[in-house]
Amino acid sequence: MPLRIIFMGTPDFSVPVLRALHAAGHQIVAAYSQPPRPAGRRGLELTPSPVHQAAEALSIPVLTPLNFRNDEDVATFRAFNADVAVVVAYGLLLPLSILEGTRLGCYNGHASLLPRWRGAAPIQRAIMAGDAETGMMIMRMDKGLDTGPVALTSRVGIPLDMTAGELHDQLSVAGASLMVEAMAKLEADELPLTPQAEAGVLYAAKISKDETRIDFSRDGIDVHNHIRGLSPFPGAWFQADVGGKTERIKVLRTEPATGSSTPGDVLDDHLTIACGTGAVKLLRLQKAGGKAMDAVDFLRGTALARGMRVS
pLDDT tens digits along 105-149: 999 999 999 999 999 999 999 999 999 999 999 999 999 999 999
What is the per-residue pLDDT for 42? Answer: 60
pLDDT at residue 193 is higher than 90: yes
Residues making up the annotated binding site for (6S)-5,6,7,8-tetrahydrofolate are 112-115
Q: Is the peptide bond before 263 cis (omega within 30 degrees of 0)?
A: no
Confidence category of residue 303, pLDDT binned at 50, 70, 90: confident
> Taking the CB of residue 254, how many other CB atoms lie within 10 A of it?
29
Task: Write down the pTM of the prediction.
Answer: 0.95
Neighbours of 294 (CB within 10 A): 13
Which residues are known binding-site members? Answer: 112-115
Say how far apart CA 81 and CA 40 lie, in whole Å. Answer: 37
Listed by start position, the domains of the chain span 4-203, 209-301
- Percentage above 70 pLDDT, the chain: 98
Q: Rounded to whole angstroms, what are the CA distances from 34 to 4, 8, 92, 163?
A: 21, 9, 8, 26
Residue-level pLDDT at 53: 98
pLDDT digits (tens, 9 = 90+) for 146-170: 999 999 999 999 999 999 999 999 9
Name which CATH class applies to 209-301.
alpha beta
d(CA 135, CA 279): 30
Query: Do 262 and 274 contact (CB within 8 A), yes or no?
Result: yes
pLDDT tens-digit readout, 25-70: 999 999 999 999 887 666 678 999 999 999 999 999 999 999 999 9
- CATH superfamily to which 4-203 belongs: Formyl transferase, N-terminal domain (3.40.50.170)
Residues 252-265: what's their mean pLDDT? 97
CA distance 236 to 218: 14
